[in-house]
Structure 1
Amino acid sequence: MTVFADTPRWPRHGTVWGHLISDDSLDELHEAAARAGLPPRAFDLDHYDWPAASRGDLEAAGVRFVGDRELTRILLRSGLRVKLSERPAARARRSAEHAAALGLDPVPRDLIVGLLGHVDPLPEVPGAFRFTRDRPHGRARIEAHDEEGRRAAERLLERVDLLARAAGEEGFVGQVMDAPAAHR
């Protein structure tokens, strides 16, 4: 049982990012990511995204570095890989499960209850939005291209807060990305 990382090559948010995977289990992957100080939000279905600045922390956590192709081969052999073509369906299943747990209907395009994982980026369509809240009473970070999207995000945040409280939580913690039905 080993955790592997490749060389960061994918630019975003002012840095470059690599991938962290396990050859055995997601539990092993989550444990190694926590030891290396990666936030739970960095998890993406079958891997963690990690910024170039975290390399030393990954080395200290015992992560083994391999090339991109080797990382892909290891992930395929592990049985944990979520193929690119299957990622939208995997996100839809996760969103449906999390929405059902909240009692939320209709299901947003991408929804995560809790701190583990991240939703898709904000699409470039009118009325789309994305929000994140890390603490039940914390301020939500809302991304939207227009006022319609911002208002839709605020309405949904209010709704998921009420549902989370009805389920015995202090409030909603998680992420949502959605767009008007015409753009789904």
Structure 2
Amino acid sequence: MTLFADTPRWDNHGTVWGHLISDTSLDELHAGAARAGLPGRAFDLDHYDWPVDARWRLEAHGVTMVGNRELTRVLLASGLRVPLARRARARAERSAADAARLGLDRVPRDFIWGPRGHVDPMPDLPGAFRISRDEIALPRVQAHDAAGERAAAAFLERADALARAAGHPFWQGQVMDAP
């Protein structure tokens, strides 16, 4: 059981990002990412995204650094890889399962209930919104327009009510939706 990380080379959010994977299991991957201080939101179906400044933490926790092609080879061999052609379906399945678990009557475009994983970026559409809420109760809301702000507020009110009914103080997770 080994964790592997590739060379960061993807620019986004003002830094450069790499991928962290397991050759054995997602449980091992989640545990290793937590030990290295990566947030649960950095998980993306079969890997964690990690910023270049986290390299020393990964190495300090025994992560094996490899090239990008080697990382892909290891991930394919592990059986954990979610192929590009299946990623949209995997996100839709995750969204439907989490929406059902929370009790939502409509499945958003991309939805996570819980602290692990992230949703797709918000599309440039009228009424679109994206909400993130971690352990703290204050959500981070993005919307392009007033319709998106209203939709986000309505979603948050409904998700919080359902979460409280399930014994949680508030809904924690991420959502991206548009009409």
**TM tier, shorter chain?**
over 0.9
Task: Give per-residue Cα distances to partners, 1:91-138, cap 9 Å, x unaligned.
Answer: 1111111111111011001111110111111111111110011136x1
CA displacement at 1:16 relative to structure 2: 0.5
Partner of residue 177, structure 1: 176
CA displacement at 1:140 relative to structure 2: 0.8
Partner of residue 40, structure 1: 40
Partner of residue 147, structure 2: 148
Secondary structure of residue in 1 paired with 2:126: coil
Partner of residue 167, structure 1: 166
- Supply the distance in 1 between the matched residues of 2:71 and 2:8 (Cα, whole angstroms): 12
Task: Give per-residue Cα distances to partners, 1:112-168, cap 9 Å, x unaligned.
Answer: 1110111111111111110011136x1110011111111101110000001111111
- Supply the distance in 2 between the matched residues of 1:31 and 1:160 (Cα, whole angstroms): 28
- Supply the distance in 2 between the matched residues of 1:60 and 1:90 (Cα, whole angstroms): 32
Structure 2 residue 23 is the aligned partner of structure 1 residue 23: yes
Structure 2 residue 52 is the aligned partner of structure 1 residue 52: yes
State the Cα RMSD in Å. 0.9
Q: How many residue pairs are counted as aligned between the two chains?
A: 179
Secondary structure of residue in 2 paired with 1:18: strand
TM-score normalised by L of structure 2: 0.98
Secondary structure of residue in 1 paired with 2:159: helix
Secondary structure of residue in 1 paired with 2:108: coil
- Supply the distance in 2 between the matched residues of 1:19 and 1:69 (Cα, whole angstroms): 12
- Supply the distance in 1 between the matched residues of 2:146 and 2:8 (Cα, whole angstroms): 36
| Counterpart AA for 1:159 | R
Partner of residue 106, structure 1: 106
- Supply the distance in 1 between the matched residues of 2:35 and 2:165 (Cα, whole angstroms): 34
Residues 51-60 or 27-36, more deviating: 27-36
- Supply the distance in 1 between the matched residues of 2:135 and 2:36 (Cα, whole angstroms): 22
TM-score normalised by L of structure 1: 0.95
Partner of residue 6, structure 1: 6
Q: Would you identify which runs of 4 or more consecutive aligned residues in structure 1 move more than 2 Å?
A: none
Unaligned 5+ runs, structure 2: none
| Counterpart AA for 1:9 | R
Output aligned runs, 1:84-99, within 5 Å: 84-99=84-99
Secondary structure of residue in 2 paired with 1:112: strand
Between the aligned residues of both structures, percent identity stands at 68
